[in-house]
């Protein structure tokens, strides 16, 4: 059983904002081998008030009342928050047992470290969605990195910490497109309430991405990181020596240099080895959330 804390910038259901954190939360709730200890909110997809209130609304809709939900810091200028305090508390309560899944700005993580300098070493591992190693191109359009770049100093401190860190970059997430076939799968089963819930929450985003990028579907960015935790066998292992500074991370750029003595080791998988199995696992987990609705 994986003990997970999910630090996210969930905007699923907010107009013209990404839906991936919400889909990831639903996956975590339905996964049989995850003990979701808490959810902390951060800025990224939108401002912290919008993210927190939207996530609280989702908790209410799903009737979740047994999982703590904490509000994070509003910006990198003041990193202390209920979320950072909770991260410290829970890591001390379960030393070396917690996997921290972080899919937005990493401000809360650095805030926790500022409170307790043992924070990173108290974690079992950190799994992140973010970063790029080259330009991220979608149908000819260059997409800016929107996670590590939100708070580059926090990103640097997390990546170069003494924690065991895995990063699922934007590049591997391009393999996880939620396209017409996946939407058809949602549409065909009219009796699973979770699928109905997802349809209602994502249809505007599906249409927005089609308009902006000319593709029929969207990328399931954050859920890739969640699947890495529960099913690492679906990914290759790729340890890289990263030398990115906070300056590099202003654009989310992961600079790799195998000969630099000042590098830090990060696992950066590059391939989902079985995308059909990947999607089946997601749909099965979502189906189990039916009990909440």
Full DSSP string of 71-93:
---SBTTB--SHHHHHHHHHHHH
Residues 48-53, mean pLDDT to the nearest whole number: 97
Contact 282, 245 (CB under 8 A): no
Q: How many CB atoms lie within 10 A of CB 246?
A: 16
According to DSSP, residue 251 is labeled: G
- 204 falls within a domain: no
- 138 falls within a domain: yes
Q: Which two tokens stand for residue 211?
A: 């308009």
- 202 falls within a domain: no
Q: How many CB atoms lie within 10 A of CB 220?
A: 24
3-class secondary-structure state, position 109: helix
Phi, psi of 153 (to 5 degrees): -65, -45
- 41 falls within a domain: yes
Contact 38, 82 (CB under 8 A): no
Note the pLDDT of residue 282.
96
pLDDT tens digits, residue range 139-157?
888 888 999 999 999 999 9
Note the pLDDT of residue 180.
87
3-state helix, strand, coil in the chain (%, to 5): 45, 20, 35
Residue 82 pLDDT level (bands cut at 50, 70, 90): very high
- 201 falls within a domain: no
Note the pLDDT of residue 212.
85
Note the pLDDT of residue 293.
60
Mean model confidence pLDDT for the chain:
94
pLDDT tens digits, residue range 1-28?
999 999 999 999 999 999 999 999 999 9
- 167 falls within a domain: yes
Q: How many CB atoms lie within 10 A of CB 237?
A: 10
**Residue 164 belongs to what domain range?**
2-179+219-291
292 vs 76 pLDDT, higher one: 76
- 191 falls within a domain: no
Q: How many CB atoms lie within 10 A of CB 212?
A: 14
Number of domains in the chain: 1
- 189 falls within a domain: no
The kind and range of the H/E element at 168 are strand 165-168
Roughly what angle, to the nearest 10 degrees, separates helices 152-159 and 107-115?
60
**What is the CATH classification number for the domain harbouring 229?**
3.90.245.10
Q: Which two tokens stand for residue 244?
A: 């990115």
Strands 141-142 and 137-138, how do they pair? Answer: antiparallel
Contacts 24+ apart (CB under 8 A), 247-250: 247/152, 248/152, 249/131, 249/148, 249/149, 249/152, 249/155, 249/156, 249/159, 250/149, 250/152
Strands 239-242 and 217-219, how do they pair? Answer: unpaired
Chain Cα centroid distance, residue 121? 21
């Amino acid at each position: 059983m994986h003990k997970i804390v999910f630090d996210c910038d969930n905007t699923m259901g907010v107009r013209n904002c990404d839906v991936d954190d919400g889909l990831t939360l639903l996956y975590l709730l339905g996964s049989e081998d995850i003990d979701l200890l808490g959810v902390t909110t951060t800025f990224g997809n939108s401002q912290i008030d919008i993210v927190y209130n939207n996530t609280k609304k989702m908790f209410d809709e799903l009737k979740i009342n047994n999982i703590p939900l904490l509000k994070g810091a509003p910006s990198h200028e003041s990193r202390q928050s209920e979320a950072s305090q909770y991260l410290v508390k829970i890591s001390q309560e379960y030393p070396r047992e917690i996997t921290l899944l972080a899919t937005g700005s990493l401000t809360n993580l650095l805030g926790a470290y500022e409170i307790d300098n043992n924070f990173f070493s108290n974690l079992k591992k950190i799994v992140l969605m973010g970063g790029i190693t080259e330009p991220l191109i979608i149908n000819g359009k260059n997409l800016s990195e929107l996670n590590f770049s939100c708070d580059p100093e926090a990103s640097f401190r997390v990546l170069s910490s003494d924690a065991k860190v895995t990063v699922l970059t934007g590049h591997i997430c391009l393999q996880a497109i939620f396209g017409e076939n996946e939407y058809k799968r949602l549409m065909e089963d009219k009796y699973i309430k979770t699928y109905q819930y997802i349809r209602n929450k994502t249809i505007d985003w599906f249409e927005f991405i089609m308009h902006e990028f000319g593709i029929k579907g969207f990328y399931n960015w954050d859920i890739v990181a969640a699947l890495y935790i529960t099913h690492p066998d679906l990914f290759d292992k790729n340890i890289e020596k990263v030398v990115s500074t906070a300056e590099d991370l202003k654009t989310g750029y992961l600079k790799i240099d195998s000969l630099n003595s000042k590098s830090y080791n990060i696992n950066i998988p590059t391939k989902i080895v079985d995308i059909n199995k990947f999607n089946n696992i997601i749909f099965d987990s979502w189906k189990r959330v039916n009990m909440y609705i």
